[in-house]
Chains A and B, each alone.
Chain A
């Protein structure tokens, strides 16, 4: 029995992932794109946590959400450090 309330919450979070996707595609600088990717990753963690309640397999999906949160953090830190350039000398 799939709960309609949690299905609605999951669909809502999936819709909330589209404005950061617009920012990733359209963003003027690379930092806008990284921030959009970070927001999409956070929303993905929440979507996984809610999907566990939708399918009533919380024990499996919670571990997936933990791994996704760790990988998201490491990836964003690496991208931020990579894009950081020294200012050109005047």
Chain B
């Protein structure tokens, strides 16, 4: 009985983290931010869901296969996301920054860019 309760908790938690990952890929502004959502919350949700299914199924060869899928996803999902993010970085895709810094970069004034970066870090208050 405690096994089924634990399996239900795992499956519900896994569905929650899968929802977080799917929301992140549609709401976040950049490919790097989206890779963050995919690699972390999606991996955790998959591991929780597959672990809950294996726990529900009991001690058998098929639940061993489910655990094999779990380990495989835990190894390969962050690896694939890292490959994509590295390819984007090597292709020269610029990370997303706030509007102020983008307009400063567009005007091409170096001092203004640095001032915008400092303002982005420490906030709008004049020091």
Interface residues of A, count at CB 8 A: 43
Chain A, range 8-29, C-beta contacts under 8 Å to B: 9, 12-13, 16-17, 19-20, 22-23, 29
A interface, by DSSP: helix, strand, loop or mixed? helix
Q: How far is the CA of A45 from the CA of B53 in the complex (A)?
A: 13
Interface residues of B, count at CB 8 A: 42
**Given that A35-B31, A80-B83 are contacting pairs, would A42 and B42 also be in contact in the complex, using a CB cutoff of 8 Å?**
yes
B interface, by DSSP: helix, strand, loop or mixed? helix
Chain B, range 7-32, C-beta contacts under 8 Å to A: 11, 15, 18-19, 21-23, 25-26, 31
Q: Are B68 and A66 in contact (CB under 8 A)?
A: yes
| Given A22-B26, A70-B72, A81-B87, 10 other A-B residues pairs in contact with their CB atoms under 8 A | A20-B22, A35-B81, A38-B77, A39-B21, A39-B22, A39-B42, A46-B50, A62-B62, A84-B86, A86-B90
